[in-house]
Every structure is written in C-alpha cells, then in structure tokens.
Amino acid sequence: MRESKDTKKKERLAASVMQHKLKGIMIIDLGGQILMVNDAFSKITGYPSHEVIGKDPTFLYSEREGSDLYKIMLETLYRCGKWQGEVWSRRKNGTVYPEWLSISGILDEEKQITHYVAIFSDITERKLSEERLVYLAHHDILTDLPNQRLMTERLTQAIKQAERKEKQLAFLSIDLDRFKQVNEAFGRPLGDELIITVANRLKSAVRDCDTISHLSGDVFAILLGESDEIEHTATIAQKILHLLSKPIHLDGHPIIISASIGISLYPSDGTDSRTLIGHADQAMSRVKNQGCNGYQFYSEEIGVRSLERIELKMAIRRALERNEFELYYQPKLDLKTGEITCLESLIRWRHPEKGLILPAAFIPMAEETNLIIPIGEWGLRAACEQARKWQDKGLPPLRIGVNFSPRQFQQENLVESVLSVLEETGLNASSLELEITESIAMDQVDKGIKTMNQLNQNGITLAIDDFGIGYSSLGYLRQFPIQTLKVDQSFIKNLTTNKDDAAITAAIISMAHNLNLEVIAEGVETKSELGFLQEHECDGVQGYYLSRPLPANLFEDFFQTGNYRALVTEE
C-alpha cells in the first residue's frame, strides 16, 4: 500500500517535471533508447514525441560538434553518472542550435543507474547576445570596422603566418589632419559622418583580405596582407591620399580633408605587433611635422629622432622642475618719439650641460606635448613680475609683450588664468601685451574673437606676431579686436634688396593704419631698413640694430643710458 503511494508520488513528481515549459527533457534507457520526452522537447527540436520514442538520440547530433564531444560525454556519464555542457544540436528542420545540456543517471534503491534524464535549454538568444558582445568588444560602433584590439590580434596572427611563409607585411597608421577643427566647426554628429565617409573611402582603397581598423577619433590603421611589395604599399598610400582629397559634403559645405600616413614593414621594421605599430606611428608623426598630407615609410633615422624627442620631452619636464628657464628682453623703439615704451620677453633654456638654448629648439616640442601650458604660465608670471619690479624701481611704465602659442591660447580658462597672474604679481593689465600668431586667430575664429574680446575688455593689449607669413589677410584682421601688428622679419630682411618685399611692407603699414592698428617691424638689423620704415611711417621697430634680446639686468643698463634715442634722430 505504502509503496504504491510512493510510486504515485514519484509519478506525479515526474509528470510535473516533464511539464517544464522551457526546458526540453528526454528520458533514455540503459540501451540508449528514448523512453519519454516532454512538450518543450518537441517545441525546441521540432520532433513530436511519437517520432522519437524508441530511437537512439544520435539523430539530434550535429556535425558542428566533432565526434570527440559525444565520446567524452558518454565516457563521463559512464564514470560519474552525469555530464553537462554546451552542445550544438540539430532540429528536425535541419537547423543547428546551441543548447545547454545536462544529463544525469536516475538511480534505483541499490544505487544502480536505471535511466538517464537529459535536460536542455535552447540558448540561441543568449549565444547571440554573447556573440554580439564579442563583436562589440572587437569593433568600433561608429564605422563597424575592427577596433584596436581586433587589429592587434589580426596583426599578431598575420605576423605568425608571414613568418612561416617568409612573406612581408605592411602596417599603415593613418591620422586625419585638422579633424579637430572640423569637429569643432560642424559639431560631433557631422564629424561622425565625416569619419564614416573616410572609413568607406578607405574600404574602397584596399582588398577584402586587408584589415582596416578605426582605432580612435580620427585614427585609422590598415594591415596589408602578405606578399606586398614596397611599391604596392606606396601605391595604396597614394591611392588613400587621393581618395581622401576629394571633397566631403557636410551640411551642404564641401570639406577638404587630408591625412598623414606612416608605414612600417614586417620584418624589416619590426617582428612583433607593438614595434610595428609604434614605428608606423613614428613615421606618421614625421609626416605631421613636415606639414601633413603625405605618407612616409619608417626608417631608423625616424626612430632615432623620435627617441631624441622623447628625451627632449623628459628634459623639458626636468627643466621646469629645476627652474632652468630664463627670460630675455628685447626693446621696441617708438619711431616717432625715439622712446622705448614696450619690450618683448623671449624665453631661453639655460641647460646645465648644453648652455643657452633658443626657443625654436624646444617650444615646438613643448607645444606638441602640452608642456607649453606650464612653460607659458611660468613665462607669463616671470614677465609680469619683472615688469612690476621695474615699475617699483621707478623706471617709466613699460608694456611687456608675452608670446602665446596656439595651444596656450586655446586653453579653456585662459582669461581667468591671465587675470590671476596679473593680480598675483600686481601688474596693471594695461602693461601687458599678448603676442599671438595669425593662425591662432584663424583656427577657431568665433572662439578666438570671444577670448580676445574678454582680454581686451580687461585692458590687455593684443598683437598679431609674424604677420604676413600666414593667411596674410588684412580683411580678416578687421574682425579681430587687436591693437598691434608685428610685420614678420622675413619681409624686413629683404626690404632693401627685394622690391616686392618693400612694396608689401609699405602696403601692410598703410593698410594697418587704415584699420587703426599700430605697426611694429621685427628683425630690423640695419640703418637702411630703419630708414625705409621711418619713411613709410612705421610706428615702431624691434631688432638687433636697436638691441639684441638681453637678460633683465643688462636691459636695465641699456635702458638707463638712453643712447637709443639717437637712432631715430640720426641722419
């Protein structure tokens, strides 16, 4: 009686298990034949129960699994009485799907296995989302191209293959020129559109077996498969530059974009992915430094130079910590009064071993690495402090010019930081002049004008430095709230020998006066140059003829003697 109650209980339990809606269940006897399946089994596999009962479940096997898996499964069941894992099985309609399968033996009272129960769930959905995750982890969402991770994996694989087959590989590092400006001018969404267009153009430049990847922002890379000759690689680089040079229409505006491409070759430039990528990047930087829009193969010379650059960068950092920078001062002479009312501060690096280093040797590097920000801040503070000291000493008020490079001028909190230096050093805003170049003003016109206006409103004077070598557009200058124009020394140098330069200089002076700007000529070295400028009513001059840049104490001596006054009255 009791036994039959137990049996009934078990049967009910079994029945309720078999009713499981999501999990397919089949019960198999020791002979390996299916005894029973549930509805979910039929739903997942597509087989109604009457078609499978009495059969060996091997009809569910798919060739996507090797025979090894089934062998291991059976061995484990035999040894341990259970097995579980992921299996690809076949549905009645022939499709293959992934399932999570667990099989365990059902024991009788003597602990002997009488049957096996296999429970499985269809994990197609989960697999898809897993695959999607794997895909996303290896691709860039915007362009759908392989990302850095996948590119590195592919490069590593390609290197192994090329090594076996003794073939060459080429790796191209591609960086768009001036993309930041496009992004700022047109906004992110249109910037994204541009990147997608570039990705498509790159795709059309290479074969299917080559890998193009979008590494970040405006950086792409291409891995050219085996057996590529150098000439072939160069042709592809040229093709890319050509394809990119065609205008891209954004918001109705045709945008011209270009790129800088650096190329490294396996095995000559490196035999592992890191070295190849690094060397391609160095070659790419070389293109950028030489004015962008081109391609360049890596060479040892580039490697040495970039090592020097890294060393220079570290040395600049150390110099800042050790206070090795100094300011020299060069006066500007007012041609009408013969007085010195202005001077320019020019930075020097007193290197403990190499001696005095001029800005051209370190400012561009500082600019590239953002070290210009702390250097610039130091320079501004030191110049303001010195000007204030001279005022305290009773010297007549001198306006001090401080050079600002593009990155400094684009700083978010530029106005606040300049004002706070003025406050800390106690210098009047009217005693400070900032020298910026045309390109700064032109880079982001609206933002630039806003910053200039704020500086102006606070009483700071603005000068355009090196005028004439950049965009050379006086028309543009009209928009800028500036007070002074400094004519580049390259014009002054040839003033007395080159008629064009003389005519240009004269024209700049008169046009600038029409715009109510004060004109200063830079790099005046001779009496005849000074004479020409005086004749053409240039307002002021700066140059070796008056004085070289001097350390603060020597400038003071120079100033006190007053000898310079004779320069303008001399006949």
Interacting residues with ligand C2E (CB under 6 A): 330, 346-347, 358-360, 363, 376, 379, 403-405, 435, 465-466, 489, 522-525, 542-544, 549
Residues 6+ apart with CB under 8 A from 488: 466, 467, 468, 469, 522, 523
225 binds, among Mg ion, ligand C2E, none (CB under 5 to 8 A by kind): none
Q: What residues numbered 410-439 form the site for Mg ion, per CB under 5 A?
A: 435
Tell me: does residue 173 bind Mg ion (CB under 5 A): no
Is residue 390 within 8 Å of 399, Cβ to Cβ?
no
Stretch that binds Mg ion, among 204-212, 324-332, 403-411, 445-453 (CB under 5 A): 403-411
Q: Which is nearer to Mg ion, 236 or 463 (CB)?
A: 463
Residue whose C-alpha is closest to residue 556's, from 428, 424, 394: 394
Q: Give, as one character, the DSSP assignment of residue 415.
A: H
For the CB of residue 308, give the shortest distance to ligand C2E in the complex, in Å: 20
For the CB of residue 497, give the shortest distance to ligand C2E in the complex, in Å: 15
What would the x/- binding string for Mg ion be over residues 489 to 528, using CB under 5 A? ---------------------------------x------
278 binds, among Mg ion, ligand C2E, none (CB under 5 to 8 A by kind): none
Q: CA angle, 412 as apex, 408 and 416 as ends, to 5°?
A: 90
Helical pair 445-457 and 414-425, crossing angle rounded to 10 deg = 20
Q: Which is nearer to ligand C2E, 24 or 359 (CB)?
A: 359
For 184, the 3-state DSSP assignment is helix
Cα separation of 307 and 274, whole Å?
16
Please count the other Cβ atoms lying within 10 Å of the Cβ belonging to residue 21: 8
543 binds, among Mg ion, ligand C2E, none (CB under 5 to 8 A by kind): ligand C2E
Stretch that binds Mg ion, among 98-106, 159-167, 190-198, 401-409 (CB under 5 A): 401-409
Residue sitting closest to ligand C2E (CB): 543
Tell me: does residue 264 bind Mg ion (CB under 5 A): no
Q: Which is nearer to Mg ion, 281 or 466 (CB)?
A: 466
Tell me: does residue 403 bind Mg ion (CB under 5 A): yes
Cα separation of 190 and 249, whole Å?
10
Residue whose C-alpha is closest to residue 542's, from 326, 341, 391, 327: 341
Tell me: does residue 466 bind Mg ion (CB under 5 A): yes
358 binds, among Mg ion, ligand C2E, none (CB under 5 to 8 A by kind): ligand C2E
98 binds, among ligand C2E, Mg ion, none (CB under 5 to 8 A by kind): none
* The dihedral sign for the CA sequence 46, 51, 57, 62: negative
Q: Which is nearer to ligand C2E, 191 or 543 (CB)?
A: 543
529 binds, among Mg ion, ligand C2E, none (CB under 5 to 8 A by kind): none
Q: Which residues pair with 175 in a beta bridge?
A: 219, 260
Which residues are at the interface with Mg ion (CB under 5 A)? Answer: 403, 435, 465-466, 522
